[in-house]
Amino acid sequence: MGIFKRGLSKTRQSFLGRLSQLFGNTTIDEDTWSDIEATLIQADLGVETTETILEYLREAVREEGLTRSEQLYTVLRESLESLLEPPRELNINGRPLSIILVVGVNGSGKTTSIAKLAHRLKRAGRKVMLCAGDTFRAAAIEQLQKWGERIDVPVIANKAGSDPGAVVFDAINAAKSRGIDVLIIDTAGRLHNNYNLMQELVKIRSVIAKAVPGAPHEVLLVMDGTTGQNALKQGQKFAEAANVTGLIITKLDGTSKGGMIFSIHNALHVPVQFIGLGEGINDLVYFNPKNFVDSLFDDTDE
């Protein structure tokens, strides 16, 4: 659990600080519920998720006869963990070539997350290739190529301004001819409210599906953990346009807004597969709901 505790220190300090003041040895009354509601919303859990948790706590009070606010502390931990599902195994087995499409807005840490994911898969013995499908920015192509060199993974790219669908098609053919078993495709960082770019994403999906029936096998949405509740609308739009199958939440080590994971998961109903807890190549880790919640509450030294 060490990397979770280190990476979530800012969220824990903010979250735990409020909770320690809140759950003292006092009688549960209406002020208690108001304080809990305010604390959870300030921790970036969002209104809808907060209401779900409050109902869970109220039911526990009714069924277990709880009378002191400190008794709610354990129940809150349980309720938070119950809101999250563990990541499932990525659907990248049992076929000659599996394709992962990665989407998200500019600045979310998308390209870096792709490289870290490729590194993870390569260490696990997979033959990985990257596709620079973000042809709108020359810098994005260069960044992915540099990462490819660093982790020794091939990158299929074309010049900036070229048709992203054509680049994707070329990458799929190259992957097949080279015996690659996992192709990870980068896409242009697009704003969720940009209709043309979202339609481009639909087109890329179509190209992939024609070249490899049933693909993409995973569509991972990368979201910046520092944006908190502002990420929610982005996520909903991407989920509609791209049939997102899983989430990567980045930059959690640099924010106190880690509570956004609860509301994002609650709204999109897709699992958080990975979280970014640092800048190192190995700091993209599988999400673990229990470790995540425990790290928010545990203020002991490691």
Closest CA to 251 of 46, 1, 8, 80: 8
Q: Is the pLDDT of residue 271 over 90?
A: yes
CB 170 within 8 A of CB 158: yes
How many angstroms separate the CA atoms of 223 and 113, rounded? 10
Distance CA 10, CA 15 (A): 9
125 pLDDT higher than 70? yes
Terminal Cα distance for the chain, rounded: 9
Task: Name the token pair of 227.
Answer: 């944006």
Least confident of 45-49, 94-98, 124-128, 139-143: 45-49
Look at residue 302 in the predicted model and tell me its pLDDT.
46
- Does the pLDDT of residue 301 top 50, yes or no? no
Q: What percent of the chain has pLDDT over 90?
A: 54
Is residue 187 over pLDDT 60? yes
> In this predicted model, what pLDDT tens digit does every residue of 40-99 receive, in sequence order?
888 888 888 999 999 999 999 999 999 988 888 889 989 999 999 899 999 999 999 999
> DSSP letter at 254?
G
Q: How far is CA 50 from the centre of its chain?
A: 20
Q: In order of start, what are the domains of the chain with their CATH numbers?
A: 2-82 (1.20.120.140), 98-286 (3.40.50.300)
Asked if pLDDT for residue 231 goes beyond 50, the answer is yes
By the 8 A CB rule, do 200 and 172 touch?
no
Confidence at 1, pLDDT banded by 50, 70, 90: low
Q: What is the mean pLDDT of residues 272-289?
A: 92
Q: Which of 222, 202, 220 is nearest to 106 (CA)?
A: 222
Distance between CA atoms of residues 1 and 162, nearest Å:
44
191 SS3 class: coil
- What pTM did the predictor assign? 0.91
